[in-house]
Structure 1
Amino acid sequence: MRGAEALVEVLAESGVQHIFGLPGDTGVSFYDALYDNRHRITHIMTRDERSASFMADVYARVTGKIGVCEGPSGGGATYILPGVAEAQGSAIPLICLTSDTPIGQQDKGVLTELDQESLFRPVTKWNRRVSSAETMADAVRRAVRMATSGRPGATHLALPADTLEGATPAASVYGIPDFARAPAMRTRPDPELVQRAADALAAAKRPVIVAGGGVVTSGAWDALTTLAESLHIPVATSINGKGSIAETSPVAIGLVGGNGARPYANACLASSDLVLFIGTRTESTTTSHWTLPDPVHGPDVIHIDVEPWVIGNSYRLVVGMAGDARLALEDVLIAVAHPTRVRHANRERISALLGERDRYWADVDRQAAITSTPIKPARLIRALRDQLADDAIIVADPGTPTPYLGAHYELRRPGRTTVIPRAHGGLGYAIPGVVGAAYAADGRRVVAVTADGSFGMSCGELETITRYNLPAVIIQCSNGAFGWIKELQHLYHQDRYFSVDFNPVDYAAIARGFGFRARQVTDPADVDDAIRVALNDGGPYFLDVVTESPITETPPVAAWQAAGARRTSSDLVGAAVSDE
């Protein structure tokens, strides 16, 4: 059996059903093996290697299975890195395969020769150049195991052309279906630490749980909901943790931190006397650059994560506990001695938070009802929420869409239905990402929410969407600039705008050129109908929605809103002095 055939066989037997990528001359043997197995593995040809890695990342987030991307040697290996880095940073199971120049031609200056192991080392959990066809099957199995076990992440195999052509012993070729999805091997936390955490939760007067993406990856939403509702403990989430609990639960308080947070949720966290972080790295966004909660004078902290090295990274702990999120939450609830007593003690606080939530949503309703032009992003998000089913999947770019989806798009069911890249925040994610979502969705609606800055980085994948006739709706927020950076220049650099603005572009016409049905929306009164038509169309549909700039409509980003308020106050003082 050739090495390429062994590679494909192990992947297929390990549950891989989709691969995203594009061809190169060093990988022709791999494509020949895929051809023979096209009834088992669907290959989705992309227009760019970066897009292939984003597709695989989103596919893995939605299914829980390994996302697989592939590309050629040389430039292809350098182009494919962004989605690999994003998956690794967000703990998403992904395998990246890149063909490589022949081992027999190493160090001779052959075209596209590159030290791929060194290139991928900083952005993967494990990576290897397969130097012999005899070890091909072993290497593929290790890549699968490493991707889905422990803290999930990205793995990489460099596949020299002569290794793909060489002979692999047939007896070594078998798959490992038990490692097909994450988490592949759940680990139970130390019972003594579980009891300490349970006692601390029960004793706290103002506890809060902050759930990260690890809760969603673990499928721990039922365990989290049961624990929190049984004890009446409020639950906040990170952006990647959105979906850890239905946001309609009486204990859910939405996102916290610096991007897309609800102000009352941040206030709740700031005033807590104990915080249980679970499945989160306690990174800068969720903690507002490690000020929320206060690391010196703030609450006691419990930290639970599957990866020991992140536990206690940012806060001094009363309990640190390594283990799978679902198992840990189940064990903690069992260990609480008097749950009814704890629930009664926390009841009044939950009632007050529900009142805060009602006032928050009333304000969101007010923002969504504004009919001025350009269109308010809040109005667009409300229209989406009104018309999308609860199981619809939204893939968003990290710019304008993120804070509004985080703050204003209420999830009525748990699970990962919003996908946003938060490890590195690379633009150009949503358009290719919706392809991965479409292959993962199992009939559910898929929508990309992007912006004009991202469009220029990934519009080639519009052709991929129409080539496969995917029922994807792409909604673009167009404000004519790299809006996130322009807002920073506005708030912190005295409106010294530099290299952030675009020429006017007919994005709908471009989309039509790729085979989409498309329209531009400029009137707020047309938003609901435009979305309805797009969703009912059944084919690829592109909406270019001209939205208000962050300069005049500050997104729900905590630091920006505070800076905007200071700027407004300063302007008012200056005007008063001028009047005198």
Structure 2
Amino acid sequence: MKLNGSQIVVECLKEQGVDTVFGYPGGAILNIYDELYKHSNEITHILTSHEQGASHAADGYARATGKVGVCLATSGPGATNLVTGIATAYMDSVPIVAITANVGVPLLGKDSFQEIDITGVTMPITKHNYIVKRVEDLADTIRNAFRIAKEGRPGPVLVDIPKDVTAAVTEYEAVIPEPIERKTDYVRTEDLEEAARLINESRKPFVLVGGGAVISDANKELKELVEKIQAPVGDTLMGKGAFDGIDEKYTGMAGMHGTKATNLGITECDLLIAVGVRFSDRVVGNASKFARNAKILHIDIDPAEINKNIMVDCSVQGDAREILKKLTPMVEKASHDQWLARIRELKEVYPLKYEQETLTGPAVMEEIYKVTDGDAIIVTDVGQHQMWAAQYYKYKEPHQLLTSGGLGTMGYGLGAAIGAKVGRPEKTVINIAGDGCFRMNMNEVATAARYNIPVIEVVINNHVLGMVRQWQNLFYGERYSATILNDSVDFVKLAEALGAVGMRITKRSELKEALEKAVSLGRPVVLDCQIDRDDKVFPMVPAGAPIEDVFDQDDLKKEK
């Protein structure tokens, strides 16, 4: 049958099972929006307050559901406003498809009104991108975009469609998408045998799990391996939930704000089994001294990550879940009682701790955990609150923590929380933000209120840019350059003005009741939690130092 380009876009979205898109209209994309209007009973469109919010919402939807998230924007500034969200998804391997419109083909390259070479702009931050200049190519391009976004190591794909292509007519025939198989092409028997040999010879194995284990949903297979070899387990920020955070073998997060038990465990182990980890600088610290007593086994889907940041002794390339299915039967059952006793000692001697009497970031996280029974989807922005959420909420399964780990995007959280709640309406969804981050995306409270999407925005409000101030306090002689936010902005009134419920919390005794009310209301809520401006995230590793140089507040007191 003959359809125009806009009809083809919508039909291809339906082919892919898309039920929700996030976006913001404009002149170049009007034809597509007109077609979406006609299919509003099949595809829900969420109008965000800003295109960046749409890209983050598509990201949050994808992370929470495991499906491809979709965002739409018009040409020029509409398209460029997606860039930060696309880069965020790229760094964290999140499958989204961004559909932008552009000026007509005859006007391309002529500095036309609201024209931008968005494929050129996004080339370094997409898995692939397209500009479709012939309507005959449109359907297959969109189908390829979804396949590329999802297969292998996921990532964002952008499709740019000139306006005249959205109006042009061609033949269209529906196609049922083929299932995307897990990548096992490069899983070699000799690699598995070498990996099994290293594990069997190890006396002090340590498992470190990253975002790849979450993406592959390898939690069941990971637990089977850990139980068989009796090894302690730490995770990266992106690996939260791949291994149960309340399991006795769990030691906490690794890296700059990781626990002493994990950082010292990695330093003392004789074999580090890294599953879906890219060995980022915030995890390894001084790369030349990382896990220097250990051999390293690296399991990852992307060959570009092998030996990129850390040289390893053995690697197995492919989907983490499929590799673990093959590897676990090949390893011998072990006990490692002495090694596990050492890890228990580290956990007992160096627990996470904080001031118990006052309202603090950690106190907020622990109370959120209690009120939600550890079953919420936690979204975060970036900064101190992000680290507290990683340290003090115990994640039991994959896709529970949605956070910008690679790009570190302030302003990510609220849009992502909206996307997550739309995708998983049965879940309580809570975004943890600092007051600096909240200022960057607080306009999306209006989006949540417009559609009555009951997300809970918890603002850890210390009236400063907390993480930057912490560095200024510890390493810059207390010169607080441009980090103080001590002004008269009232987040409670702001929430109410945007159509949400606002509550202020100034004492720890007020915390439980406010959180329970927020969860029960079924409306968007902003909780303004006032904490001290000099509360710090501990433990901490100085930039460039080996991770065993981790220190906490007790170490600072000893130095004084």
Q: Same fold (TM over 0.5)?
A: yes
Measured at CA, do residues 130 and 175 of structure 1 come closer, stay the same or move farther in structure 2, by a change above 3 Å?
A: farther
Tell me if the contact between 1:305 and 1:311 (Cα under 8 Å) persists in the aligned partners. yes
2:466: which partner in 1?
483
> 1:145 aligned to 137, 144, 147, which one?
147
> 2:402 aligned to 419, 426, 436, which one?
419
> 1:273 aligned to 270, 273, 286, which one?
270
> 2:329 aligned to 334, 350, 359, which one?
334
Matches within 5 A, 1:126-205: 126-171=128-173, 173-176=174-177, 178-179=179-180, 185=183, 187=185, 189-205=187-203
How far residue 358 of structure 1 moved from its aligned partner, in angstroms, is 4.9
Tell me if the contact between 2:538 and 2:553 (Cα under 8 Å) persists in the aligned partners. no
Unaligned runs of 5+ in 2: 544-549
2:546: which partner in 1?
none
> 1:125 aligned to 118, 127, 140, which one?
127
Question: Partners of 1:187 and 1:254 in 2: how far apart?
Answer: 33
Tell me if the contact between 1:397 and 1:421 (Cα under 8 Å) persists in the aligned partners. yes
How far residue 425 of structure 1 moved from its aligned partner, in angstroms, is 0.6
2:519: which partner in 1?
535
Tell me if the contact between 1:86 and 1:421 (Cα under 8 Å) persists in the aligned partners. yes
How far residue 559 of structure 1 moved from its aligned partner, in angstroms, is 2.9
Matches within 5 A, 1:381-400: 381-400=365-384
Matches within 5 A, 1:480-559: 480-502=463-485, 503-549=487-533, 551-559=534-542
1:446: which partner in 2?
429
Question: Partners of 1:348 and 1:54 in 2: how far apart?
Answer: 46
Tell me if the contact between 2:435 and 2:463 (Cα under 8 Å) persists in the aligned partners. yes
Question: Partners of 2:184 and 2:46 in 1: how far apart?
Answer: 31
Question: Partners of 1:42 and 1:554 in 2: how far apart?
Answer: 40
Q: Which moves more between the two structures, 554-563 or 205-214?
A: 554-563
Tell me if the contact between 1:135 and 1:168 (Cα under 8 Å) persists in the aligned partners. no
Question: Partners of 2:349 and 2:514 in 1: how far apart?
Answer: 29
Measured at CA, do residues 410 and 292 of structure 1 come closer, stay the same or move farther in structure 2, by a change above 3 Å?
A: farther
Tell me if the contact between 2:382 and 2:437 (Cα under 8 Å) persists in the aligned partners. no
1:206: which partner in 2?
204
Query: Residue by residue, what CA displacement relative to the aligned partner does 1:465-510 show, whole Å, maximum 9, x if unpaired?
Result: 0111112111100011111111221111111111111113211110
Question: Partners of 1:185 and 1:205 in 2: how far apart?
Answer: 31
1:467: which partner in 2?
450
Question: Partners of 2:115 and 2:220 in 1: how far apart?
Answer: 49
1:575: which partner in 2?
none
Question: Partners of 2:505 and 2:46 in 1: how far apart?
Answer: 31
Question: Partners of 1:554 and 1:3 in 2: how far apart?
Answer: 52
Query: Residue by residue, what CA displacement relative to the aligned partner does 1:379-401 show, whole Å, maximum 9, x if unpaired?
Result: 11111111113331010111121
Measured at CA, do residues 417 and 482 of structure 1 come closer, stay the same or move farther in structure 2, by a change above 3 Å?
A: same
1:233: which partner in 2?
231
Question: Partners of 1:184 and 1:229 in 2: how far apart?
Answer: 25
> 2:357 aligned to 371, 376, 390, which one?
371
Measured at CA, do residues 291 and 256 of structure 1 come closer, stay the same or move farther in structure 2, by a change above 3 Å?
A: farther
> 2:281 aligned to 277, 281, 284, which one?
284
Question: Partners of 2:473 and 2:312 in 1: how far apart?
Answer: 39
Measured at CA, do residues 382 and 567 of structure 1 come closer, stay the same or move farther in structure 2, by a change above 3 Å?
A: closer
Tell me if the contact between 2:73 and 2:79 (Cα under 8 Å) persists in the aligned partners. yes
How far residue 250 of structure 1 moved from its aligned partner, in angstroms, is 2.8
Q: Given residue 272 of structure 1, which amino acid in structure 2 is its aligned partner?
A: C
Tell me if the contact between 2:538 and 2:551 (Cα under 8 Å) persists in the aligned partners. no
Question: Partners of 1:292 and 1:215 in 2: how far apart?
Answer: 25
SS at match of 2:115: coil
1:301: which partner in 2?
296
Question: Partners of 1:569 and 1:352 in 2: how far apart?
Answer: 24
Query: Residue by residue, what CA displacement relative to the aligned partner does 1:421-448 show, whole Å, maximum 9, x if unpaired?
Result: 1110110111111101111214111111
1:562: which partner in 2?
551
Q: Which moves more between the two structures, 187-196 or 12-21?
A: 187-196
Q: Given residue 282 of structure 1, which amino acid in structure 2 is its aligned partner?
A: F
1:324: which partner in 2?
319
Tell me if the contact between 1:214 and 1:280 (Cα under 8 Å) persists in the aligned partners. yes
Q: Given residue 204 of structure 1, which amino acid in structure 2 is its aligned partner?
A: S
Tell me if the contact between 2:539 and 2:553 (Cα under 8 Å) persists in the aligned partners. no
Tell me if the contact between 2:12 and 2:139 (Cα under 8 Å) persists in the aligned partners. yes
Question: Partners of 1:569 and 1:350 in 2: how far apart?
Answer: 29
How far residue 298 of structure 1 moved from its aligned partner, in angstroms, is 3.3
Question: Partners of 1:157 and 1:394 in 2: how far apart?
Answer: 30
Question: Partners of 2:439 and 2:201 in 1: how far apart?
Answer: 53
Tell me if the contact between 2:539 and 2:552 (Cα under 8 Å) persists in the aligned partners. no
Question: Partners of 2:56 and 2:24 in 1: how far apart?
Answer: 13
Measured at CA, do residues 177 and 539 of structure 1 come closer, stay the same or move farther in structure 2, by a change above 3 Å?
A: farther
Matches within 5 A, 1:392-411: 392-411=376-395
The runs of 4+ residues in structure 1 deviating greater than 4 Å are 183-188, 358-361, 563-570
Measured at CA, do residues 98 and 431 of structure 1 come closer, stay the same or move farther in structure 2, by a change above 3 Å?
A: same
Tell me if the contact between 2:254 and 2:262 (Cα under 8 Å) persists in the aligned partners. yes
1:15: which partner in 2?
17
How far residue 288 of structure 1 moved from its aligned partner, in angstroms, is 2.3
1:353: which partner in 2?
343
Tell me if the contact between 1:447 and 1:475 (Cα under 8 Å) persists in the aligned partners. yes
Measured at CA, do residues 509 and 177 of structure 1 come closer, stay the same or move farther in structure 2, by a change above 3 Å?
A: farther
Tell me if the contact between 2:384 and 2:536 (Cα under 8 Å) persists in the aligned partners. no
Question: Partners of 2:509 and 2:104 in 1: how far apart?
Answer: 60
Q: What is the aligned length?
A: 551
Question: Partners of 1:354 and 1:457 in 2: how far apart?
Answer: 41
Tell me if the contact between 2:22 and 2:54 (Cα under 8 Å) persists in the aligned partners. yes
1:577: which partner in 2?
none
**Once the two structures are aligned, what percentage of the paired residues are identical?**
26
Is 1:49 aligned with 2:32?
no
How far residue 177 of structure 1 moved from its aligned partner, in angstroms, is 5.5
Question: Partners of 1:143 and 1:505 in 2: how far apart?
Answer: 43
TM-score (norm. length: structure 2): 0.94
Question: Partners of 1:276 and 1:9 in 2: how far apart?
Answer: 45
Question: Partners of 1:322 and 1:440 in 2: how far apart?
Answer: 31
Tell me if the contact between 2:540 and 2:552 (Cα under 8 Å) persists in the aligned partners. no
How far residue 347 of structure 1 moved from its aligned partner, in angstroms, is 2.5
Tell me if the contact between 2:252 and 2:261 (Cα under 8 Å) persists in the aligned partners. no
Question: Partners of 2:106 and 2:31 in 1: how far apart?
Answer: 16
Q: Given residue 542 of structure 2, which amino acid in structure 1 is its aligned partner?
A: A
Question: Partners of 1:475 and 1:165 in 2: how far apart?
Answer: 44
Question: Partners of 1:69 and 1:184 in 2: how far apart?
Answer: 25
2:547: which partner in 1?
none
Is 1:60 aligned with 2:59?
no
Measured at CA, do residues 147 and 292 of structure 1 come closer, stay the same or move farther in structure 2, by a change above 3 Å?
A: farther
Measured at CA, do residues 557 and 187 of structure 1 come closer, stay the same or move farther in structure 2, by a change above 3 Å?
A: farther
Unaligned runs of 5+ in 1: 573-580
Q: Given residue 562 of structure 1, which amino acid in structure 2 is its aligned partner?
A: F
Measured at CA, do residues 568 and 272 of structure 1 come closer, stay the same or move farther in structure 2, by a change above 3 Å?
A: same
How large is the Cα RMSD of the aligned pairs?
1.9
Tell me if the contact between 1:11 and 1:175 (Cα under 8 Å) persists in the aligned partners. no
